Amino acid sequence: MIMKNLTDVEIIESVKKGNQADYAVLIDRYKNKAFTMLKRMLKNDFEAEEILMDCFLKAYNNLNTFKFESKFSTWFYRIVYNSALTKLSSAKRKIENDMSSVDDLHFLQSSYNADDLVKEDLSILVKKIVNELPAKNAAVITMFYLEEMSTEEISEVLQISVANVKVILYRSRNLLREIIEKRNLFQEVI
Interface residue list for another protein (CB under 8 A) = 20-21, 23-24, 27-28, 31-33, 35-36, 39, 49-50, 52-53, 56-57, 60, 122-123, 126-127, 130, 141, 144-146, 166, 169-170, 172-174, 176-177, 180-181, 186, 189-190
CB of 175 vs another protein, minimal distance in Å: 8
Pick the closer one to another protein by CB: 108 or 176. Answer: 176
Phi first, then psi: give them for residue 154, nearest 5 degrees: -65, -40
Minimum CB distance to another protein smaller for 30 or for 69 = 30
Nearest distance, CB of residue 110 and another protein, angstroms: 17
Q: Report helix, strand or coil for 17.
A: coil
CB 8 within 8 A of CB 71: yes
Return the C-alpha torsion angle 176, 178, 184, 188, nearest 10.
30
Least CB distance from residue 98 to another protein, whole Å?
18
CB of 99 to another protein, least distance (A): 15
Cβ-based nearer residue to another protein, 69 or 121: 121
Q: Smaller CB distance to another protein: residue 16 or 69?
A: 16
Q: Which is nearer to another protein, 31 or 71 (CB)?
A: 31
In the complex, minimum distance from the CB of residue 97 to another protein, in angstroms, rounded to a whole number: 20
Q: Which contacts qualify for 187-190: CB closer than 8 Å, 24 or more apart? A: 188/122, 189/122
* Residue 133 backbone zone (phi > 0: left; psi -120 to 50: alpha; other: beta): beta
Q: How far is the CB of 82 from another protein (least distance, A)?
A: 19
Which residues have CB under 8 Å from 3's CB, separation 6+? 11, 22, 25
C-beta closer to another protein: residue 88 or 141: 141
Query: Cβ of 26: how many Cβ atoms within 10 Å?
Result: 22
